[in-house]
Amino acid sequence: MDAGFCGMLDRYVPAVYHGFMSDGVWAGLRDGYTEPVRDVLWGHIYLTPALAELTRSAPFTRLNRILQLGPAYVVYPGATHTRLAHSIGVYHLARRLLINLAERGADVWLSACGVRSFLCAALLHDLGHFPYAHSLKELPLRSHESLTASLILDEPLKSLAGAAGADPYLAAAIVDTGSGVPAETGGQGELGFYRKLLSGCLDPDKLDYLNRDARYCGVPYGAQDVDFILSRLYPDRERGITIDSRGIPGIESVLFSKYLMYKTVYWHRQVRSATAMIKKAILWVLGSGNAAPGEFYGLDDQGLFGLLAGRGYPAAKLSGQVKDGRLYSGIAEIPFDEALHAHLTGIENRHQYEAALAAELGSRAGIAINAEDIIIDVPEPISFETGLYVSGESRDFEESSTVFKPQTVGNFISSLRVLRIFADPAHESGIKSADVPDSILNIRPK
């Protein structure tokens, strides 16, 4: 272990925690995991006492007050699981993945401290996540990965991560790919490898959320054969992991499951309506100066609703209707076209088009419609990660014997990206009676 990091670690971690570092990678992966957590998906998940302390910290327990799927409970009442449960599941799969890869040769280039840093990164990867699922992701705010890294490098997590045998700087850099890790920590050689493990086609985050979300929503689409997938993975220092030919169905299952979960759960029209209403409320308070970006960091679900309720009309109206389940109704659905709808992709300017559209619709229907009564929902870009190397065929996955060629993945994306217009239910019947054409989206603000 790099002496520079150990010297730095001495400044904030008691010496009693340093002993394991010379015991090797396997000690970091297998020794001291005595604290069980019972999980509905994976059964008993074991942590070390020091890792368990991380789960009792205030930044981590906040995740127990954030629903993993935000407004999906409106459609699927069972979808009330939390980001805390998901985070522990990701940690569990990350440890299983790393044990598997270490047994197949990765232990040659891994360190005990690096291993614990990766496990801390997996456990804490969602610490900075915004409330209400991905409602805030498109807004002019810091990324949740950046916020997570800041939390890991602040107290109490910095000391707790060090006490768990991790380098907090390396753990933060694994999560926040836009940052680097200080050279003196000695973790630079492992950083790229761990980043590829935590974010990729078969990463522990995806394997947990697909299985977990499907279970709690009561749908079969997300279920993955994790045991089989892990058995087909092999370590590669540059690529992270590779698969053999028998692992191709595992990737295909993940890709198709992700498509179906977006189609039926994540981007269900009612979920999109609730999400769009919350985004419009937040954008209004930011744009009007009624709230600063920093006020949205560190909130839980109820904290977000409380903040919006106190910031005046229309934010209070929109958030109140979402909280009460009175969602805006869909009045039009149009396949998204990059060329035709480019003017609608910038969320900060979209309210101008919504105001113009409200005026046009009101004119057609013969009723008064305000800008806050109309929402244009443009689905954000989505990716289907296929960047794995199939060692048995000596080529990349998309060039292998899979049916998931680039055109197929492109068809998935175009099928999912549906542009919708939502309206306050009070105006729904009047608008629909006006026979709104698809060309209405060509309306421009004056």
pTM of the model: 0.91
Say if residue 363 is exposed, middle or buried (CB neighbours under 10 Å; 0-12, 13-18, 19+): exposed
Reported as a pLDDT band with limits 50, 70 and 90, residue 324 is: very high
Domain boundaries, the chain: 3-266, 269-382+415-442
DSSP assignment of 306-332 equals HHHHTS-TTHHHHHHHHHTT-PPEEEE
The CATH label, of 3.10.450.350, 2.60.40.790, 1.10.3210.10, 1.10.3720.10, for the domain at 3-266 is 1.10.3210.10
Reported as a pLDDT band with limits 50, 70 and 90, residue 230 is: very high
Angle between helices 204-217 and 83-103 (to 10 degrees): 140
**pLDDT attached to residue 432:** 76
**pLDDT attached to residue 364:** 86
102-130 residue pLDDT tens:
999 999 999 999 999 999 999 999 999 99
- The whole-chain average pLDDT of the chain stands at 89
**pLDDT attached to residue 179:** 76
149-203 residue pLDDT tens:
999 999 999 999 999 999 999 999 999 988 766 655 555 679 999 999 999 889 9
262-279 residue pLDDT tens:
999 999 999 999 999 999
Which residues make Cβ contacts (< 8 Å) with residue 71, sequence separation at least 6? 132, 133, 270, 271, 274, 275, 278, 322
